[in-house]
Amino acid sequence: MLTRHSAAAAIALCAFIPALVQDSTGSTDLWPPAVRATAAYPIRQDAHQWLGSNLVGARVVSASNQTIGKVANLVINEDGAIESAVIAVGGVLGIGRKDVAVTYKSLNIVRTQAGDGIDHVTLAAEKSELKRVAEFKTLRQQRNDKTVRRRDATPPTAVSLQTSE
C-alpha cells in the first residue's frame, strides 16, 4: 500500500518537473542583467581616443569662436558608444543654465598642444540657436515631470466639515 502511494507521488512529481524547469529558465527579464564577457583588457589609451573625464567639462565654442558653454554630460548607448553630448548653455554658477543635447558626431574636438587632453570643443551652432532648442531631459527628470503632472491633474477631494451644535 505504501509502495503504491510512493509510486503515485513519484509519477506526479515527474509530471511537474518540466513545468518547474520551464518557469525557472523561461524568463527573459533577469535581474540583475547578465554580465557581458569581453575578455578585453586595454592597457593604454591610443592617440585617437578621448577620455570621458577630459570631455566632460570641456569648453564649447562656436565656429566663430563665441563661447557657448561646457560639456555637462555624455549619453552612451548600451553598446558603449557615445550618442550625444549634453552642453550646458549660458547661466552663471548653474543659475539660468540650459542643458541641450547635440549628436556626438557634430562635435569637433580640439586637442591641447601636448596632444594629451582636450583644449576645447567646436560646434557649428551658435549660442543663440542652442538657447532656442528644447531642453534635454534625463530619464529621472522625465519621471519627475510625469509624477508632478499626475499629481497636478488629480482633482482635489471634497471634504465636508460638520460642525457640532
Domains of the chain: 52-137 (2.30.30.240)
CB 52 within 8 A of CB 86: no
- In the prediction, which pLDDT does 77 show? 93
Element at 3 (helix H, strand E): helix 2-25
**In angstroms, how far is CA 123 from the centroid of its own chain?**
23
pLDDT mean across residues, the chain: 80
- In the prediction, which pLDDT does 95 show? 76
| pLDDT tens-place string over residues 148-165 | 777 666 666 555 555 555
Q: How many CA atoms lie within 13 A of 50 on its CB side?
A: 20
Element at 138 (helix H, strand E): none
**In angstroms, how far is CA 47 from the centroid of its own chain?**
28
pTM (2 d.p.): 0.65
How many CB atoms are closer than 10 A to CB 145?
A: 11
Q: What distance in Å separates the CA atoms of residue 74 and residue 99, rounded to the nearest whole number?
A: 12
32 upstream amide cis, omega within 30 of 0: yes
Contacts 24+ apart (CB under 8 A), 71-76: 71/121, 72/99, 73/99, 74/104, 75/101
**Of 141, 145, 138, the residue nearest 73 (C-alpha):** 138
| pLDDT tens-place string over residues 15-26 | 555 555 554 455
Position 81 confidence tier, pLDDT thresholds 50, 70, 90: very high
- Section 23-39 average pLDDT: 63
pLDDT at 12 over 80: no
HEC per residue, 9-29: HHHHHHHHHHHHHHHHHCCCC
Q: How many CA atoms lie within 13 A of 23 on its CB side?
A: 4
